[in-house]
Each structure stands twice: as structure tokens, then as C-alpha cells.
Amino acid sequence: MNNKKFKILLVEDDIGAQQMLALNLTHKFDCEVFVANTGEEAVQMASNNIYDLIFMDVGLPGIDGVESAANIRQLVSVNYQTPIVAFTAHTDKHTRQRCNDVGMGDFLAKPFGNSEIKRY
């Protein structure tokens, strides 16, 4: 029997929202959630670990989520093709296009609930 848990990298700088989402994902979907607070940290974690899915906040300070996703896509690592889902309160066409251009596979508008997360 395979007991491998689904591994998610959650990249979110808002500690309260991050904790709530991580707990929600862990309890409702029985997966392992690893948290990065910055884009730089996300790129570092993705270069050293294998994830099944990456949830990336677009509005990160410093290197934002779009640039972080682009950097992850350029890594020579196992996460080169890991699905990256953008989430942000900015749902304008320009933001969506920037996310698509760097290889983010989907887009969630904040706030989102369990029904949106279940798609993954």
C-alpha cells in the first residue's frame, strides 16, 4: 500500500492567511503542506525538494510570485513541470496574462474556498 502523501508548496507572505490555508489543505485533503514566505524562499525550496503542486501568491514582496514561478520554471530540477497555481486579489487581464506567460497553469481569485481548491 502506498502511503505517499500529496506534497504542496504554499507560497504566501500573509502569515494568518497562510496558516489558515495550510491547515485547511492538510486536514481536509490529507496532504503535506510546506510553506515559503517569500519568492526567494520558494525558488530555493523548489530547487531542493519535490512537490506535486505549488500554490503561488502573486503579490509577494521582493521577487513577486510571477517572477518566482518563472525562476522555478527555469530550474533544472524535478519541479520544472510541477503545476503552479497563481492566487491573487488582482484578477485583471494583465495579471492573468503575466501568470500564463511564465507557465502558471491556473489562476485562483482571492478569496477562494474549498470548492476551488478541490480542482487540484
Per-residue pLDDT for the chain (120 aa), expressed as one digit of tens each?
Answer: 556 788 999 998 888 776 777 777 777 777 888 999 999 999 999 999 999 999 999 999 899 999 999 999 988 667 678 999 998 888 889 999 999 999 898 888 876 666 666 666
Class of domain 7-117: alpha beta
pLDDT attached to residue 116: 67
Neighbours of 115 (CB within 10 A): 7
Percentage of the chain beyond pLDDT 90 is 46
pLDDT digits (tens, 9 = 90+) for 94-107: 999 999 999 898 88
Q: Could you tell me the residue ranges of all domains in the chain?
A: 7-117
